[in-house]
Amino acid sequence: MNPLLVEVTATDGAARCGRVVTPRGEYRVPAFMPVGTRGSVKGLDSSDLEALGAEVVLANTYHLMLRPGADVVADLGGLHRFTGWSGHTLTDSGGFQVHSLQSKVDDEGVTFASIYDGSAVRLTPESAVEVQGLLGADIQMVLDVCASLPAGPDVLDQAVDRTAAWAARARTRFDRLERRPAGQALFGIVQGGTDAGLRSISARRTVELDFDGYGIGGLSVGESRTEMLDALAVTVPFLPVDRPRYLMGVGDPVGMLEAVALGVDQFDCVAPTRAARHGSIWTTSGRLNLRNAMHARDDTPLDAACPCPTCGRWSKGYLRHLLSVGEPTAVRLLSIHNLTFVFGLMDAARAAIAAGTLDALRASTLATWGDGERGRPTSTAGGVNARGGLGYSRSAVTTPTSSPDAR
């Protein structure tokens, strides 16, 4: 029996909004999942995430299996108790690290060097499932092969074949796994690069294994946005309407809304919080570079339309000062702002789908942000269409219970 139930409350073309019901509760879709790589979103704690209205947080299997170790997390009560987070959690499989670390891949699995001490580490479809069972997230992902783009047909063919074979092995091991939470869900992953034929083949082979949900991987890894969207348009129609659809690693405003229009339900990306740590602020008027000297004496908030506690209390000048001197408080306050923006965008997307105005939201977002590729949004002059544009849901954001100095 599928532990997840997708309840669609409205559609606008292929886009849909509603909720995913789980043994833990539910989360609204479309959804953005902040990335808590080592069990924490950098600079934030669980009370911050609760105050921001986060409903699903991603944790990184690769890092947690190395430090502190999946068995340590299990002994300390699993991810939820370990991190003090009561919402939903999703763990990736380590497949993207396989891609980014240029590890040695063979038909049986992958071998890579630990980033902590250089020791050799082996990961297989079975061990990835076992590790994630110990971590205890609500959703775990199968181990896949993510090819960098552009890639030749032989590379993409092999990635699709290995991903499908590994998915079958993961499915079998997962079904027999004893050390995992009751009701934990397993998502398959579709690969195929930008090749329409391979995308359809991979989608069919993955769906045949009857996963609880489906990740769409191998995108935002070197291709243009047009190529990414073309690949998505081919893939999504093959995915069951009663299962969540998750576009992995995409988190820029234009990219997410275009994917929502194609039927994607959820996203994850480090972009909003990483950008914040570098002074790149996401606002309803586009991107703002807080490091610019012009903000040194600016007494206005980052975004006058933003309901976050950062904008409600501190000026650009003060926040720029914290950033310039390397004060850790800046990481927290700026990350709170950028995540408020992204969660507000998801609120706006759900409202637009319900109202049948998603096209207007897409157009205004593109006009404001431009066609920034691969999670690097570009700012343009001009404001935002007040009726169809970006907006925040003030009711979804409350003041964090921890102090501004909390790490």
Q: How far is CA 379 from CA 40, 232, 280, in A?
A: 29, 25, 11
Q: How far is CA 349 from CA 56, 258, 280, in A?
A: 17, 11, 23
CA–CA distance, 46 with 87 (Å, rounded to integer): 9
Instruction: Given the residues 92, 212, 303, 347, select the one marked as catalytic.
Output: 92
Q: How far is CA 374 from CA 132, 160, 232, 338, in A?
A: 28, 22, 14, 17
Question: 92 catalytic, yes or no?
Answer: yes
Instruction: Given the residues 12, 195, 268, 303, select the one marked as catalytic.
Output: 268
Q: How far is CA 68 from CA 71, 112, 128, in A?
A: 8, 18, 16
Phi–psi pair at 37, nearest 5 degrees:
-50, -55
Six token digits for residue 40? 């924490």
Q: Is the separation of the CB atoms in 103 and 110 below 8 Å?
A: yes
CA–CA distance, 320 with 322 (Å, rounded to integer): 5
Neighbours of 34 (CB within 10 A): 25
CA–CA distance, 82 with 386 (Å, rounded to integer): 42
Question: 154 catalytic, yes or no?
Answer: no
Q: Which residues, at least 6 apart from 154, have a Cβ–Cβ distance to it below 8 Å? A: none
Residue 391 gets which letter from DSSP?
A: -
Any idea which residues carry the catalytic annotation? 92, 268
